[in-house]
Amino acid sequence: MSHKPLITFTKHGIYCPQGDFYIDPWHAVDRAVVTHAHADHARYGMKNYLCHEISKPIIQSRISGDFAVEGISYGKTKTINGVKLSLHPAGHIIGSAQVRLEYKGYVSVVSGDYKTGDDGISTPFEPVTCHEFVTESTFGLPVYRWLPRKIVEENMRNWVVKNQQQNKTSVFTAYSLGKAQRLMVALQSLGRIYVHSAIAKLNEVILQSGVQLPEYSPFQLGSDRKNVQGQIVIVPPAASDSEMIRKVPKTATAICSGWMQVRGHRRWQSADAGFAISDHADWDGLISAVKATGAEKIHVTHGYTEPFARYLNENGFNAQVVKTRFGEGEE
């Protein structure tokens, strides 16, 4: 490469020297471009955040302190020290974006977390051609191949109906941001949907940004214990074994996560059901995304980095593993 690299990997995170900003940094820096509002990508302590416009209010509600956030829409170009920056749908959660950087004709794309399938609520993933592509590999093994969304959702809906026939409350464990809203869409019309306060708080923010959500009620610990009977409750993983859930009389619990693809993971979690429904690309999705970029250089971050990079290298790509702090405490 004749010019100096457009992005580098530093101890603070992914850095663009020409633009003098970081992408999803894990240490406090002045200028951070953030792919999406999950806590392992949008961290506390930056002076300035740049993100998609839907992520903006979420970041404002999740992160405290004195900072500035700028939200831009997909496809709009912003120039920083000569670097042309634009955001493109990553399909991971609502507001999630791939960051495209262009300088003197060289293009780098940092995809953050992404999935290639349409989840019914996030803007679907769009491949962006580039010279250099930074990809996640959360599910970078060929045992992780998701069933079509229609089928998994049908399985979940059937499970709820079966629970209702047995007068049981269906309790879903799902991440507050992204998965929870996706479940609300998939399960609407089967019953009243109650959500944990952490999810309710995010829903309000999301609604304000103009995204449509199905009807839901915040779960009130005192009064709703009986009302939820036979209905649907969605809680974040941290609350799955909480007082709130233990007090509901007859429950059936389900975990919704890509890890549920493997029996061992399902059984370890000791839930009544596990649905392999993920906001990350599966094996085929990762490979097709990498191919679609046409990139000459692939950086593989968090997940099954080693096998995924090795497989890419054996199949004509130039891939290397990059150690990041993404994926901590996530899915």
Using CB under 8 A, list all residues that contact other proteins. 141-145, 259, 261-268, 270, 272-274, 304, 307, 310-311, 314
| Shortest Cβ 22–other proteins spacing (Å) | 22
Retrieve residue 45's tokens.
């302590």
Nearest to 280 by CA among 204, 151, 179: 179
In terms of CB distance, is 147 or 211 closer to other proteins?
147
In terms of CB distance, is 215 or 314 closer to other proteins?
314
Taking a C-beta distance cutoff of 8 angstroms, is the pair 81, 61 a contact? no
Nearest to 76 by CA among 52, 109, 103, 49: 52
| Shortest Cβ 307–other proteins spacing (Å) | 5
| Shortest Cβ 152–other proteins spacing (Å) | 12
3-state SS assignment for residue 172: strand
> HSE (CB half, 13 Å, CA atoms) of 24?
27
Q: CA–CA separation, 95 vs 88, rounded Å?
A: 10
Q: CA–CA separation, 207 vs 87, rounded Å?
A: 22
For residue 268, give Cα distances in angstroms to 265, 274, 275: 5, 11, 14
3-state SS assignment for residue 59: helix
| Shortest Cβ 155–other proteins spacing (Å) | 10
| Shortest Cβ 13–other proteins spacing (Å) | 17
Instruction: Give phi and psi for 264, each to the nearest 5.
Output: -55, -40
Given its phi and psi angles, is residue 54 left (phi above 0), alpha (psi -120 to 50 degrees) or beta?
alpha
Looking at residue 65, what DSSP letter applies?
Answer: S
Looking at residue 151, what DSSP letter applies?
Answer: H
In the chain, the N- to C-terminal Cα span, in Å, equals: 37
In terms of CB distance, is 97 or 273 closer to other proteins?
273
In terms of CB distance, is 55 or 278 closer to other proteins?
278
| Shortest Cβ 285–other proteins spacing (Å) | 15
Instruction: Give phi and psi for 209, each to the nearest 5.
Output: -85, 5
Amino acid identity at 293 = T
| Shortest Cβ 18–other proteins spacing (Å) | 32
| Shortest Cβ 265–other proteins spacing (Å) | 4
